[in-house]
Amino acid sequence: MDLKASLSDPALLRTDAYIDGRWQGTDRHLAVTDPATGAHLADVSDLTPAEAERAILAAQAAGAAWAARTARDRSDLIRRWADLMMAAQDDLALILTSEMGKPLTEARGEIAYGASFLYWFAEEARRVYGDTIPGHQPDKRLLILKQPIGVVASITPWNFPNAMIARKVAPALAAGCTFVARPAAQTPLSALAMVELAHRAGIPKGVFNVVPSSDSAGMGRLFCEHPVVRKITFTGSTRVGEILMRQSAGQIKKLGLELGGNAPFLVFDDADLDAAVEGAMIAKFRNGGQTCVCANRLLVQASVHDAFAEKLARRVAVLKVGDGREQGTEIGPLIDTSAVTKVEEHVANALSAGARLLTGGKRHDKGGSYFQPTVLTDVRPGMAVMTEETFGPLAPLIRFETEEEGIGLANDTEFGLASYFYAQNLSRVWRVMEQLEAGMVGVNTGLISTPEAPFGGIKSSGLGREGSKYGMDDFLELKYVCLSL
C-alpha cells in the first residue's frame, strides 16, 4: 500500500527529523514496516546522539522566549495544534494503524485521546498559580513562584505512538518548557505528523523537536547525561525505566516514569457478570492486549467462575482478527513476531503447569504477527502469566475463594499501575478499592484513562502522574522567595 497516496494530506507523512523549526535529513535511515503485511512503509532519518544534540541546544535556545510568553499565548497555540490534530484525525489514524497495527477505530480513538491532552493542558496553562504565605516576621513577605523546569526530553513506546507523546508534550509546553521527543523506532511516523501539525499551528521553532533514532541506548544516555536536559519523561518497560534512573542519577535529573503493569481484574460473587465480561473485553483486548493497563490476570471468585469463564470464552472466540484497516477488525497484528513468541511462551508455560485452554491458544492462520485471542483457566501462582506482563491477547483466569484471598492474589506483584474489580456491595467496594496496591482502580469499568484523571502507578510501575490538574506539577519548579521589606 502506498501510504502517502492514501492520505488526503500527503504532507503529513514526514520522514526527516524536525529540529529548530526545520526538517533535517541524515544519510542514515531506519525502515518503518507495516506489522499487518510486513510491507515497507517509509525510510526515516536515523539520528545519532551527536546529531540529536542539536535538538537539545535548539530547545535550550527557545526556552526563555517560550517561557516569557503569556500563558494565554501558549494556551491558544496548543489549542490550535489540537484543532489541527482533530481536523487531520483520519490521516493521523491511517498513519498510526499502518506503522503500529491497531484497528483504525482504535487509532481514531487514540488521536482524539492525544488531542484531549492538548485541549486539557491548553486550559491548565492559564491556571499555574503561585502562593503568598503569612510572614514569620513583621517585615517578611513569603512568596511561592511556579516556573518551568526547562528542557524536557521524552522517550516513548510504540503502542500509543501519538497519545504517549501528547500526554507529555502538552503539559510541558503549557508550563513553558521546551521539548525533545525521541519516538520508538517502530513508530516514528505518528510523532513526525504531530510535529508537522505543531509547526502549522505556529508553535515556535525550537519549542518542540522530534529526533527519530534506532540507537535507543545511545539516545537514552544522551538525555540522561546532557546537562541542558532538566527532565526526562519516559513511558515504557520497568527494565528501561531503571536504566534511565541509574544513568541520570549523577545529575539528580527530574524523572517521569510510566512503566510496566500487571493489572488484576477481580470478579466477585456479587458482580454483574455480563457487565464484568464487557469490562474484561475492553480491559484485556483493547489494542490487542498491548497496553500497560491491560488486565493481565483475571481473578474470579469460585462461585461465579464457570459462568464468567463460559461467557467470556464465547465473546472472545468471535473476535475478528485482521488488518487494522479492514472494516470490522477488532484485533490487529501484534507489533512484531517476538511479541507473538512471548504470548506463545506464556500459553505453553501455563498449559504445561496444568492450565486449561478455553479458546484460541495458537498463532493465527493469517500468519505474520497475528495471534488467536485466547482464554485460559485453572491458572495458578507460579505460572509466568501471573508475574510477567504478557502484552498480548491472552486472558488467564484464576479462581479464588474469599475476598481476602482475591485481594492477596491481586497485590502479589511488583507492579502497581492499574487494577479493576466488579462488585456491587458498597462495603465491599470500599474495602477492595482501599486495599488494592495500584495507582489507578477501575470499579465496575474496564476503561479508566482520561486527561481529567492522574495516570500513573506505584511500586515498579513508575514515578509521577500524567494528565489531570496534578500533571502540570511534574513540569514546574517551586521557588520560595523571602522578601524583606
Ligand X SMILES: NC(=O)c1ccc[n+]([C@@H]2O[C@H](COP(=O)([O-])OP(=O)(O)OC[C@H]3O[C@@H](n4cnc5c(N)ncnc54)[C@H](O)[C@@H]3O)[C@@H](O)[C@H]2O)c1
Q: From CA 241, how far away is CA 233, in angstroms rounded?
A: 10
CB of 213 to ligand X, least distance (A): 9
Q: Which residues in the 293-312 window bind ligand LB4VBGO6 by CB under 6 A?
A: 293
Please identify which residue in the block is written with the cell numbers 497496553: 291
Q: Which of 292, 339, 398, 407 binds ligand LB4VBGO6 (CB under 6 A)?
A: 292
For residue 298, list its beta bridge partners: 265, 397
Which does residue 449 touch among ligand LB4VBGO6, ligand X, none (CB within 5 to 8 A, set by kind)? ligand LB4VBGO6
Catalytic status, residue 258: yes
Comparing CB distances to ligand X, the nearer of 176 and 416 is 416
Which does residue 119 touch among ligand X, ligand LB4VBGO6, none (CB within 5 to 8 A, set by kind)? none
Q: Which stretch binds ligand LB4VBGO6 (CB under 6 A): 16-24, 68-76, 139-147, 289-297?
A: 289-297
Contacts of 276 (CB under 8 A, 6+ apart): 267, 308, 422
CB of 462 to ligand X, least distance (A): 6
CB of 382 to ligand X, least distance (A): 21
Count residues near ligand LB4VBGO6 (CB under 6 A): 6
Comparing CB distances to ligand LB4VBGO6, the nearer of 293 and 298 is 293
Using an 8 Å Cβ cutoff, are 285 and 393 in contact?
yes
Q: At what angle do helices 163-175 and 104-124 cross, to 10 degrees?
A: 10
Question: What is the phi/psi pair of residue 127, to 5°?
Answer: -130, 35
Comparing CB distances to ligand X, the nearer of 75 and 235 is 235
* Sites of contact with ligand X (CB under 6 A): 155-159, 184-185, 216-217, 220, 235-237, 240, 243, 258-261, 292, 389, 391, 417, 462
Using an 8 Å Cβ cutoff, are 282 and 447 in contact?
yes
3-state secondary structure of 412: coil
Q: At what angle do helices 216-225 and 49-68 cross, to 10 degrees?
A: 40
Comparing CB distances to ligand LB4VBGO6, the nearer of 160 and 268 is 160
Nearest to 374 by CA among 336, 338, 348: 348
CB of 141 to ligand X, least distance (A): 41
Q: From CA 298, how far away is CA 311, in angstroms rounded?
A: 14
Q: Which of 196, 258, 344, 403 is catalytic?
A: 258
Which does residue 217 touch among ligand X, ligand LB4VBGO6, none (CB within 5 to 8 A, set by kind)? ligand X
Using an 8 Å Cβ cutoff, are 74 and 173 in contact?
yes
Comparing CB distances to ligand X, the nearer of 33 and 147 is 33
Using an 8 Å Cβ cutoff, are 154 and 165 in contact?
yes
Which does residue 260 touch among ligand LB4VBGO6, ligand X, none (CB within 5 to 8 A, set by kind)? ligand X
Which does residue 158 touch among ligand X, ligand LB4VBGO6, none (CB within 5 to 8 A, set by kind)? ligand X
Burial degree of 257 (CB within 10 A; 0-12, 13-18, 19+): buried
Residues in the chain: 485
Using an 8 Å Cβ cutoff, are 121 and 79 in contact?
no
Q: Which residues in the 125-184 window bind ligand LB4VBGO6 by CB under 6 A?
A: 159-160
Is 92 among the residues that bind ligand LB4VBGO6 (CB under 6 A)?
Answer: no
Please identify which residue in the block is written with the cell numbers 511479541: 339
Which does residue 211 touch among ligand X, ligand LB4VBGO6, none (CB within 5 to 8 A, set by kind)? none
Q: Which stretch binds ligand LB4VBGO6 (CB under 6 A): 39-47, 285-293, 331-339, 438-446?
A: 285-293
Which residue number is nearest to ligand LB4VBGO6 in terms of Cβ?
A: 449
Question: What is the phi/psi pair of residue 156, to 5°?
Answer: -130, 160
Which does residue 259 touch among ligand X, ligand LB4VBGO6, none (CB within 5 to 8 A, set by kind)? ligand X
Comparing CB distances to ligand LB4VBGO6, the nearer of 182 and 286 is 286
Nearest to 406 by CA among 420, 393, 417, 416: 420
Nearest to 263 by CA among 293, 288, 290: 293
Q: Which of 97, 291, 329, 374 binds ligand LB4VBGO6 (CB under 6 A)?
A: 291
Using an 8 Å Cβ cutoff, are 80 and 201 in contact?
yes
Say if strands 394-400 and 374-377 run parallel, antiparallel, or are unpaired.
Answer: parallel
Burial degree of 480 (CB within 10 A; 0-12, 13-18, 19+): exposed
Q: Which of 162, 247, 449, 461 binds ligand LB4VBGO6 (CB under 6 A)?
A: 449
State the amino acid at position 160 in one-letter form. Answer: F
Q: From CA 443, how far away is CA 446, in angstroms rounded?
A: 8
Nearest to 391 by CA among 192, 238, 185: 238
Comparing CB distances to ligand X, the nearer of 29 and 141 is 29
Comparing CB distances to ligand X, the nearer of 278 and 336 is 336
Is 335 among the residues that bind ligand LB4VBGO6 (CB under 6 A)?
Answer: no
The site for ligand LB4VBGO6 (CB under 6 A) is made up of 159-160, 291-293, 449
Please list the active-site residues: 258
